[in-house]
Structure 1
């Protein structure tokens, strides 16, 4: 049913192209999750927000998937793809900086937004 290694399993099922696509997927996920973890949270114009330890979770789960994938292929077959896809799309979502109630209030106070009567 499964190989002893996730990478061997991918190679036997999809060949060299599949292994290349897997490597690129995991590299992109680890790259994105690393910068999600080390960047300050920005959901408004403030740049002095504290770091959150929860932002390390996608990076740590990515490391677990890669290490466990060396020993068995269950990260590929069972829950690994779900976590990679779920976390990759979740950390891709970023709030819009410069939009929202606080920014609108600041823009109104500065006189940048005016209400126009028709």
Structure 2
């Protein structure tokens, strides 16, 4: 009787372990999407980090040409556009006076974006 019980327990453990292995392998993450997602989020992080300290920001702006500032703004909006193709941006940055998301709100938004990414990363997200 004990041997039958032991065999049943071993079978149940074996099945539950094989299910865990199968589930961890079933994640199909699109590497190209992940690379592009991380590149855009990293740019936005750096964009806001530099602006956090206004004196550092003003010094950096002094070192930029008008063309570089324009390119940075274009990249900023491009990164927000990329993110907005996949997840809703709650702040209406397109219609705001400055056209940018306030620093404090950016971090709230980013938290939502990260939650979305973690939830969806295994569904082979395609670049749009």
Q: State TM-score, norm by structure 2.
A: 0.30
Higher helix proportion (structure 1 or 2): 2
Structure of larger gyration radius: 2
Q: State TM-score, norm by structure 1.
A: 0.32
